[in-house]
């Protein structure tokens, strides 16, 4: 059994919970317990019962402790990193009133557009919240609930984000952090607090919201007696404020925004995201101007369709994930769930450029290319938003850190290299969200800065692949089709 202090970093994502039982001294993950979630809904709806998250957290922690052989008395801290933006409404006893509306629920797109107009347009939102509402943002989901289920909105005694809900179950304290709060569109990254004008706009009483901790590593309390019993842990275990999953991944990589831009990251998972830690407050309608978990900023762009969309195309073609080939003329925009970046919430997949000579493997390759192009174009927007030219040789030569499930796939990695023309660094560390949460838990238990913890753990090391010549022909072909598609979706009322 481990003799050094152990912490537990929890990654409560869209599809599952992972609990990384981690050596607090070295950052070595001793075991990862896992438990699945259930997501329901069609026609743009995506919902989950928050009680399933709590049960999954209990199961994942139990599995992790058992697999690692950890004595529960060795555990000193726990932190939750959760999927962002989800809307959790609770009754006075802290029980969910209805299933949570998840980040990828696109039904709130009309509310997002109406809120943007009501405040005076994108610039007004950027000045206050740092982000412009899109369907994924919590404010748009709350407005959807008010419009479509007013009784449920009126009955809410508390409004939480997914990680807030779980942190409160652990500690008994209603608290969030600046990072996850910045994804609501009712928190201001300019003031570091909830914005009364935005709360008034969406008709939300601030008394329903959790307090905002100074950072994700702040110790907000200890495990309650009930939570300790449910998890099989001592009551004295420190509970951190926790944060959103993207903020935790940045901590897990040791990114702290020491300079203008700290290591752009491309994450390939259910969604595709690009982000970087910075001390420069971004202002771009193409980005989510999030706060980071350590007091800086984490500008981020997110696409809805990444690995799951490409896997769906592979399944339709009867191919394996690695059966793709480049070199075809087809362009496939895999917007199977609508799209967030670009903001086309009601779009569908679009395929053009078919020839008699087109092969199934080339079609799958086109799906990879469409997904990667969308992510990399968002990266260019991020760089511009913090004052950097993507074409500048000094900027272009910096490695992209490639994380997420897709980073373990040969075709994903090679497609990113080919379409970016940049060197790529694939970190050795796995489960970066859970590892970042473990660093937050260590900070809560010891008072140490969590980014310094991750740096000490050397989480950023990895395999660096050199740049290859950028495939300008494929890039230009997709760019041309996407420009036409924007107009087509607009004409079709999508």
Active site residue 11: no
Asked whether 108 and 141 are in contact (CB, 8 A), the reply is yes
Category of 337 on φ-ψ map: left (φ > 0), alpha (ψ -120 to 50) or beta: alpha
Helix (H) or strand (E) holding 384: helix 360-385
The candidate with the shortest Cα–Cα distance to 51, out of 99, 104, 101, 102, is: 99
Burial state string for 192-225 with b = 16 or more CB within 10 A and e = fewer than 16: eebbeebbebbebeeebbbebbebbbbbbbbbbe
Tokens of 267: 């994450």
* Residue indicated by tokens 């990654």: 11
Q: Give residues with Cβ within 8 angstroms of 477, minimum separation 6.
A: 329, 331, 353
Q: Catalytic residue, from 105, 177, 245, 262: name it.
A: 245
Q: Give residues with Cβ within 8 angstroms of 270, minimum separation 6.
A: 13, 14, 15, 104, 306, 307, 308
Alpha-carbon gap, residue 195 to 18, rounded angstroms: 33
Alpha-carbon gap, residue 370 to 379, rounded angstroms: 14
- Cis bond upstream, residue 342 (ω within 30): yes
Helix (H) or strand (E) holding 293: none
Asked whether 115 and 278 are in contact (CB, 8 A), the reply is no
Tokens of 243: 């944060």
Look at the chain and count its residues: 494
Alpha-carbon gap, residue 436 to 253, rounded angstroms: 7
Active site residues: 245
């Amino acid at each position: 059994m481990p003799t050094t202090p152990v912490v537990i970093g929890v990654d409560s994502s869209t599809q599952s919970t992972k609990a990384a039982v981690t050596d607090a001294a070295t950052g070595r993950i001793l075991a990862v317990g896992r438990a699945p979630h259930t997501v329901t809904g069609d026609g743009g709806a995506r919902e989950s019962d928050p009680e399933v998250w709590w049960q999954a957290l209990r199961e994942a922690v139990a599995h992790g402790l058992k697999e690692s052989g950890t004595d529960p008395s060795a555990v000193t801290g726990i932190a939750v990193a959760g999927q962002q933006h989800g809307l959790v409404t609770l009754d006075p006893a802290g029980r969910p009133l209805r299933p949570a509306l998840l980040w990828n629920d696109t039904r709130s797109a009309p509310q997002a557009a109406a809120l943007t107009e009501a405040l005076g347009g994108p610039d007004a939102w950027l000045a206050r919240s740092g982000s412009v509402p899109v369907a994924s943002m919590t404010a748009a989901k709350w407005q959807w609930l008010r419009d479509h289920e007013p009784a449920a909105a009126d009955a809410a005694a508390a409004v939480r984000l997914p990680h807030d809900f779980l942190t409160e179950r652990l500690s008994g304290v209603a608290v969030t952090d600046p990072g996850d709060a910045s994804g609501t569109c009712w928190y201001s990254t300019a003031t570091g607090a909830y914005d009364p004008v935005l709360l008034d706009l969406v008709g939300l009483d601030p008394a329903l919201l959790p307090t905002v901790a100074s950072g994700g590593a702040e110790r907000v309390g200890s495990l309650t007696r009930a939570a300790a019993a449910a998890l099989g842990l001592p009551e004295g275990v420190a509970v951190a404020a926790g944060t959103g999953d993207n903020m935790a991944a940045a901590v897990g990589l040791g990114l702290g925004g020491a300079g203008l831009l700290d290591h752009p990251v491309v994450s390939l998972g259910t969604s595709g995201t690009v982000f970087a830690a910075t001390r420069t407050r971004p202002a771009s309608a193409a980005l989510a101007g999030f706060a980071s978990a350590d007091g800086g900023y984490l500008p981020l762009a997110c696409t809805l369709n990444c690995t799951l969309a490409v896997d769906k195309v592979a399944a339709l073609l009867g191919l394996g994930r690695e059966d793709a080939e480049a070199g075809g003329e087809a362009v496939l925009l895999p917007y199977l769930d609508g799209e967030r970046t670009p903001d086309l919430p009601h779009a569908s997949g679009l395929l053009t450029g078919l020839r008699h000579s087109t092969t199934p493997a080339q079609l799958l390759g086109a799906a990879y290319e469409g997904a990667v192009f969308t992510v990399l174009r968002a990266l260019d927007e991020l760089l511009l938003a913090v004052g950097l030219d993507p074409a500048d040789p000094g900027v272009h030569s910096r490695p992209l850190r490639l994380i997420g499930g897709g980073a373990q796939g040969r075709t994903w990695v090679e497609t990113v290299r080919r379409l970016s023309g940049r060197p790529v660094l694939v970190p050795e560390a796995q489960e970066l969200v859970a590892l970042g949460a473990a660093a937050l838990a260590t900070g809560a238990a010891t008072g140490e800065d969590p980014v310094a913890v991750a740096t000490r753990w050397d989480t950023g090391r990895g395999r660096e692949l050199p740049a290859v010549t950028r495939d300008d022909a494929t890039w230009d072909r997709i760019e041309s089709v996407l420009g036409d598609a924007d107009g087509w979706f607009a004409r079709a009322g999508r």
